[in-house]
Copies of this chain bind each other. A is one copy, B any other.
Amino acid sequence: MKLFFHNVTIIGVGLIGGSLAKVLKTKKLAGRITGTGRSKQSLELALKLGVIDHAEPDAKRAVEDADLVVLASPVGVFEPIMRDIAPHLKNGAILTDVGSVKGSLATTIEDRTPPGVHFVPGHPIAGKEKFGVAEATESLFQGTKCILTPTQKTNKQAIAVLTELWTMAGAKVLTMTPDMHDKIFAAVSHMPHVAAFAMMSAVSELNTGAERYINFSGAGFRDFTRIAASSPEMWKDICLLNRDNIIQMMDRYLAALNRFREDLVSGDQQKLEAHFSAASQARRGLE
């Protein structure tokens, strides 16, 4: 049976929501795509770009007829949105999200999901430092991973539908527990974002007369700090929702930095080179 949704509603038509809408269109997986969200400007642009067929600023009305509802707004507003839309979700509808945090957030959404509606927590590992619907592209998920974090309550059939959808978007679908998801992404995404923000913060303090230090940054510094151009609002929300794991990971990072600092203070060439070598080899194994 071919995957097809008569009505899809995307809540938050930005980079990720917009790209998923484009996949649904390109692959002819949806009859009609409705966009909703807080930003009227963003919705109008999405409509003008043909990413959505219909813009409905009122989320309650936007979800009424939807077979598939995708929460793609910043994770910080998932809870108020759920409070708003829950009574209006159609019986039999599938609800999913694309949030970078699972854990307690997924539980919150699950608890607010009415009986007869099937919630499948999801996280496509895609994105770039640029955001907004103008950046949306149907190829965004090609060759990426998409993680689903079902609980014991999650409907098996709904998991199968989401798996097919993300597979058609070009992603490899994996499942894991919400807790494991949040531990892993604290390490490989959330904490590195905090570290990049901190680096920009530390370096941009430095001004000496006419010369701003940052004017001398090369390609390495630009790569290192690229993720610091990400949305502060979105990252504030992610960090607070996954803060225990991020703090744990920060402490590991601070420990590693302090090990290197000690090598420098003691001038221990061999230790420093050994530490750098292990890190360098790990990085070269990545790509």
| Interface residues, chain A, with chain B CB atoms under 8 Å away | 125-129, 144-145, 147, 176, 180, 183-185, 187-189, 192-206, 208, 211, 213-214, 216-233, 235-236, 239-240, 243, 246-247, 249-250, 252-261, 264-265, 267, 269, 272-273, 275-280, 282-284, 286-287
Contacts and interface: CB of A to CB of B under 8 A. Distances in A.
B240 A195 contact: no
A282 B204 contact: yes
22 contacts: A125-B216, A180-B211, A184-B213, A192-B220, A200-B280, A201-B260, A201-B275, A202-B249, A202-B255, A214-B286, A223-B226, A223-B227, A224-B224, A232-B276, A232-B277, A236-B273, A236-B276, A239-B264, A246-B264, A247-B264, A253-B257, A254-B257
A276 B229 CA distance: 9
A145 B220 CA distance: 14
Contact of A220 (B127, B217, B265): B127
B187 A273 contact: no
A279 B200 contact: yes
A282 B253 CA distance: 23
Which among A128, A196, A249, A284 has the greatest number of chain B C-beta atoms within 10 A?
Answer: A196
Contact of A257 (B194, B230, B267, B280): B194
Contacts of A203: 187-188, 282
Contact of A222 (B220, B243, B275, B287): B287
Given A125-B216, A216-B125, A195 B224 contact: yes
Contacts of A218: 125-127, 144, 188-189
A216 B279 contact: no
B260 A198 contact: yes
A211 B189 contact: no
A19 B119 CA distance: 56
Contacts of A283: 196, 200, 225-226, 228-229
A224 B227 CA distance: 7
